[in-house]
Amino acid sequence: MTTTAFGLRYSTNVGFEADFGGRGFQLPTSIAIRSDGVIYLLSRGKASTAQVVGIQKVTRDHDFLGQFGASGRGLGQMVGATSITLDDDENAYIADESLHRITKFDYDGNPLSMWGEKGSAEGQFDQPSGLLVQGDTILVVDSGNDRIQRYSLDGEFITQWGSLGTGDGEFNHPWGLGQDSSGNVYIADWRNDRIQKFTSEGQHLATFGESGSSEGQLNRPADVAVDPEGNIYVADWGNQRLQVFD
């Protein structure tokens, strides 16, 4: 696995800092893009900026289309949101590391259900982070429990894999995840400074990355995505950069 000579050109930016609601964001943590190009941006906010906590709907052309979700602990509310993803019907799923749960919203932003509680048993979470829909199931990175859990889209537990460690298939506070065109899953193994690749069933295939700041090295990778050509994009959080691997 090597870094790739790859050209990215700045295009535009959307949004601005906002503390009291409106068109801006506060501590944006994750995005998902609908089939019509509408961008869902997860504005995590904080206790002093509760009005901007939720999912902001914007377009690349700087249109602000509203917000759904809110600060709080009830259905449709959030405290420490970490990730957003969409299913094929464009229902939205939000992971909340503070409330240790997943919340599901419909296309119009109405909350449908939520599941999860703090713990280490099947169906429980400790700081859920990355989310990935695969067909009629959803993968959840259960960061504090150093594992990946799979659920139905209605929140029924199916299976899990992973444990704390440094070996193949083991994790130390994993965070983001992505998939390639074959359905293989890539996990940003945050505290181990590496990316791990698995089959969709959780069989380990490969590992790349090591601690450091040189080309190809990682410092707390936070997320990973794969494009249709197989290029792997890694948010190298601790090094304040994006790296692309072939």
DSSP code of 48? G
Distances from the Cα of 33 to the Cαs of 41, 42, 55, 193, 208, in angstroms? 9, 11, 12, 28, 28
What is residue 129's predicted lDDT score, i.e. its pLDDT? 97
* 46, HSE (Cβ side, Cα atoms, 13 Å): 6
Residues of the chain with pLDDT under 50: none
- How confident is the model over 162-212, as pLDDT tens digits? 999 999 999 999 999 999 999 999 999 999 999 999 999 999 999 999 999
Confidence (pLDDT) at 49: 73
Give φ, ψ of 182 to 5 degrees: -95, 0
Q: Report pLDDT for 206.
A: 97
Token couple for 176: 């983001």
Beta bridge pairs of residue 113: 104
Residue 235: other Cβ atoms inside 10 A:
19
Q: What is the pLDDT of residue 70?
A: 92
CA–CA distance, 237 with 220 (Å, rounded to integer): 6
63 phi/psi in degrees, rounded to 5:
-80, 135
